[in-house]
Amino acid sequence: MKIVYEYSHLGGSEILKVRFPSHEAEIYKVIAAIKGKRTKISKEKTMRGRKLIAPIDMNKDFRKEFQNRGYRELKDRYAVTLPNSGISISGAFKQVDFAKDKVLVEVQLGKYAFMFYDMAKFQYFFNESKADVGIEIVPCHALHKQMSTGTSYGEQLVYDIERLKRHFPAVPVKVILIDQD
């Protein structure tokens, strides 16, 4: 894969470049190592029979590449409680796929809602002092068109973050849009 656009929110790119330059280099190497393989034959009405890039295969490749570089899952478990209530629901958790030295990375090849939920997870771990910067790796519009329906694209995420200004997420984030080589 190649990077076609990078967006810095609240200094996310700058923090990565200055405080975590080796992490930035690793992230770029991971992206370059990923090959979008057309292994999925579409059964969808609008694309029946077309060979598409399989997000499942790409996710496996990203996981392998990040794990080979020492990135691990970060998971916080907690009980859900409500103010002024006796309700306590155990077993809840927040989880990020790849973390190393307070750099959190999510690769989101799914629906738009999950891209935005990643921002909330970055915010959570930032508030817990377990993150300094979040990196969101997402397909660009051109790549999204070569995948199953339902996958989203990073241009929409950047557009929405721009309109929310500094209000959400209130954590430094770098959004990286990727496409096929």
Compute the average pLDDT of residues 27-48.
Answer: 79
Show the tokens assigned to 105: 């990375």
Strand 133-139, strand 173-179: pairing: parallel
Per-residue model confidence (pLDDT) at position 45: 62
**pTM of this prediction exceeds 0.85:** yes
Give percent helix, percent strand, percent coil of the chain, each to the nearest 5: 35, 30, 35
Compute the average pLDDT of residues 42-60.
Answer: 74
Its CATH architecture, for the domain 2-179, is: 3-Layer(aba) Sandwich (3.40)
Per-residue model confidence (pLDDT) at position 47: 63
Per-residue model confidence (pLDDT) at position 46: 62
Per-residue model confidence (pLDDT) at position 43: 63
In the chain, where the domains are located: 2-179
Question: Which residue's structure tokens are 């306590």?
Answer: 88
Show the tokens assigned to 164: 């929310």
**Is there a contact between 132 and 171 (Cβ–Cβ < 8 Å)?**
no
